[in-house]
Amino acid sequence: MSTLRLEHDAGKAVGVFADNSLLCRYVYVSAEEPKESPRPYFHPLNSLAGDTLTNFRPNDHPWHHGLSFTLTHVSGINFWGGPTCRREDGYQLRDDHGEQRHTAWTECSAGGSRATLAHALEWRTPAEKIFQEEREIAIAADSSAGTWSLRWKARLRNVTGRELSLGNPHSFGGLPGSHYTGLQFRGARELLDDHLDPTIRIVAEGGLEGDKAVHGASARWMEWHGQLDETLHRVVLRFENNPGPLHWFVRRGYPLAAFPLQFDQDLKIAPRATLEVDHTLTFTAA
pLDDT in tens, 171-187: 999 999 999 999 999 99
Band of the pLDDT at 286, cuts 50, 70, 90?
confident
In contact, 265 and 73? CB cutoff 8 Å: no
* CB-based burial, 219-258: b 16+ in 10 Å, e otherwise: bbbbbbbbbbeeeebbbbbbbbbeeeebbbbbbbeebbbb
- In the chain, the domains with their CATH numbers are 4-285 (2.70.98)
Cis check for the bond before 44: say yes or no (omega within 30 of 0). yes
Per-residue model confidence (pLDDT) at position 13: 98
Identify the burial level of 218 via C-beta atoms within 10 angstroms of its C-beta, where 0-12 means exposed, 13-18 middle and 19 or more buried. Answer: middle
pLDDT in tens, 50-75: 999 999 999 999 999 999 999 999 99
Backbone angles phi, psi at 214, to 5 degrees: -80, -35
| Prediction pTM value | 0.97
